């Protein structure tokens, strides 16, 4: 794959790649399955190319611990607000965000098969899904459907996350969420 070869060349020159660079380079390849994506990341690691966080991936407002009653998750323009959307946004606004230490602890528990830890890590990142889904409004799918597809990507990220690689879960999950949403939009367009 030409794009991966270009990433490898860039990574060998600098010794590092950012998750943003990788996500942008692979964004057009919607047919990549999770195992292929993992192999791409593993090949970077085997070649000594470090994959690092890019602070621009996640809006800082998502990472701050805002009291739930003060949290206002705006709905994008052009989206009709009906009760299900409003109720969903209100409910996920009540879920506390995690600290990096809590993410690592949950990831360790997930490795041991703890389903409650999986649920907690996913729930704490539902706001991230909404934030990403808003960017795709107006592309042929309803806002709630975009959120649902993004949640599927989030679940996949929870299952695949490896805390030992040193990156934050939200950075890793962003890729999976975007991938799930863009794939669903492409599938919708084909039907």
pLDDT tens-digit map of 104-134: 999 999 999 999 999 999 999 999 999 999 8
Count of alpha carbons within 13 angstroms of residue 181, beta-carbon side: 31
For residue 174, give Cα distances in angstroms to 46, 47, 127: 23, 24, 11
Residue 22's pLDDT is what?
A: 79
Instruction: Determine whether domain 56-190 maps to CATH 1.20.120.1810.
Output: yes
pLDDT tens column, 9-49: 888 888 888 777 777 787 777 677 666 777 787 788 888 88
Q: Which residue has the higher pLDDT, 52 or 130?
A: 130
Which letter does DSSP use for residue 94 in this model? T
Checking if the pLDDT of 65 tops 50, the result is no
Say whether pTM exceeds 0.85: no
Length of the chain: 191
Euclidean distance between CA atoms 123 and 115, whole angstroms: 12
CA 172, 178, 184 angle in degrees (round to 5)?
A: 140
Write down the residue that tokens 């030409």 correspond to: 2
pLDDT tens column, 74-105: 555 555 555 687 788 889 989 999 999 999 99
pLDDT tens column, 149-163: 999 999 999 999 999
Write down the residue that tokens 């009709």 correspond to: 80
Q: Kindly state the tokens that stand for 48.
A: 């000594």
Pair type for strands 16-18 and 50-52? parallel
- Name the residue ranges covered by the structural domains of the chain: 1-52, 56-190
């Amino acid at each position: 794959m030409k794009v991966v070869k270009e990433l490898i060349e860039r990574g060998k020159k600098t010794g590092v790649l950012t998750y943003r660079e990788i996500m942008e380079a692979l964004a057009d390849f919607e047919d990549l399955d999770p195992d292929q994506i993992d192999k791409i990341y593993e090949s970077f690691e085997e070649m000594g190319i470090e994959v690092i966080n890019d602070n621009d991936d996640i809006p800082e407002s998502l990472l701050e611990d805002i009291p739930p009653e003060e949290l206002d998750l705006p709905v994008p323009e052009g989206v009709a607000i009906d009760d299900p959307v409003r109720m969903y946004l209100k409910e996920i606004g009540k879920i506390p965000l995690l600290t990096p230490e809590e993410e690592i602890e949950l990831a360790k528990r997930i490795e041991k098969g703890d389903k409650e830890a999986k649920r907690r890590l996913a729930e704490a990142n539902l706001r991230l899904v909404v934030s990403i889904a808003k960017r795709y409004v107006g592309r042929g799918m309803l806002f709630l459907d975009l959120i649902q597809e993004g949640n599927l990507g989030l679940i996949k990220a929870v299952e695949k996350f490896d805390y030992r690689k040193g990156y934050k879960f939200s950075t890793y999950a962003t890729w999976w969420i975007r991938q799930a949403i863009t794939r669903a939009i492409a599938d919708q367009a084909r039907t």
